[in-house]
Amino acid sequence: MTTQTAYRCSRIFDGEKIHRDAVLLLEGGAVVDLCGPSQVPATASQVDLGDGILSPGLIDLQVNGGGGLMLGDVESVEDIARICHAHLQLGTTALVPTLITDTPETTRRVVTLGIEAWARGVRGFHGLHLEGPHLFKGRKGAHDPDLIRPMTGDDVELYLYAARQLPSLIITLAPETVTPDQIGVLADAGIHVSLGHSGATYEECRAATEGGASCVTHLFNAMSPLQHREPGLVGAALDLGALSVGLIADGVHVDPVAMKIALKAKTGPGRIFLVTDAMSQTGTDVTSFTLGGREIFRRDGTLTLADGTLAGADIDLPASLRYLTQTLEIPLETALGMATSIPASVLGRPMGRLAEGNAADFVLFDEALGVSSVWLNGQALVG
């Protein structure tokens, strides 16, 4: 008989709400129950974590690199594991590494390595996010315009193959650069089509959503803005309930007032979730690095090209949570949900909640939302 373990903490967030003086009961690396102290079996091994906040592991659906590596530079499964480990130490127990616009050859290599990483059980790896190359050059951001291109039949074939082999596949595209049929084919295969780097009109975005698009990539950034006569992609993101929306909460990519407005506007089935858009610097103290042969500068919490264009973000999910709760005064339950249960719902996978049968992936925060400990499948992360 497998021994059960009971973790007691002053506050436990289950993915939706906070429970006080509750106990998380585990068995065999999975969650058994969230209960009161009096309901713990006498045979269970008990661990008192004291004061703090026990939460499901954090989930990041847009992370370009970490540990000194960009996803586009990986040459082995071990390289992917290195990126994942940099974020695991920061409480992100599930991440979807993101490849920004690159060559067909690099895309195929990364897809192949991603499939192998999943087959080999790389800790923290939960699929791939292909951000490009089917974008609108007028909203390219830091993407290389020479590599942005239309979607071909070979591309679709690769994406469908990847979707069959990976637990999750997200593709960011500009709806005005692809056909409705292409969006439908991808969505029907279980691919999460995300709208981004686009100058599309509201109607173009609505048509893409009706065709199967379900997400929006880094709200407000690199997209047609909300205007009083043309709501654009921002308007579609906030208005259409079928769209879930990623947000970079660093105070740089989006003004705090705009964040508050978005959070008030976006209710219903599609909600706002946190992403870091982190680059290779995560988990390191580097001050610059290269992206597609161009130097990225790290200064005062920002990452930019030489011309000042934002190039990803210099933030992690715990820092995002602190920004939301301390600077914007967003309720703790709301902020934690944006980094756990909401992105889990976007992927449609059983994680992001401390619910019976889910893997025991969780993180202990101190009162200031600093990460104290991380567990994967009920085992404490060491090193």
Residues labelled catalytic: 277
Are the C-beta atoms of residues 142 and 310 closer than 8 Å to each other?
yes
Distance CA 325, CA 369 (A): 9
- Does residue 240 sit in helix, strand or coil? coil
Are the C-beta atoms of residues 127 and 170 closer than 8 Å to each other?
yes
Distance CA 218, CA 216 (A): 7
> Among residues 366, 374, 340, which one has the least CA distance to residue 53?
366
What secondary structure letter does DSSP report for 326? I
CA atoms within a 13 Å half-sphere pointing along the CA-CB vector of 309: 15
Distance CA 285, CA 71 (A): 18
Q: What are phi and psi of 55, to 5 degrees?
A: -140, 155
> Among residues 79, 74, 71, which one has the least CA distance to residue 96?
71
DSSP-derived pairing of the beta strands 30-35 and 302-304? unpaired
Distance CA 280, CA 290 (A): 9
Are the C-beta atoms of residues 373 and 363 closer than 8 Å to each other?
yes
> Among residues 321, 327, 316, 317, which one has the least CA distance to residue 367?
321
- Provide the H-helix boundaries in the chain: 77-88, 104-119, 153-165, 180-188, 202-210, 232-239, 256-265, 317-322, 332-338, 341-347
Distance CA 9, CA 326 (A): 22
Distance CA 256, CA 330 (A): 11
What secondary structure letter does DSSP report for 132? -
Tokens representing 333 are 């339950």
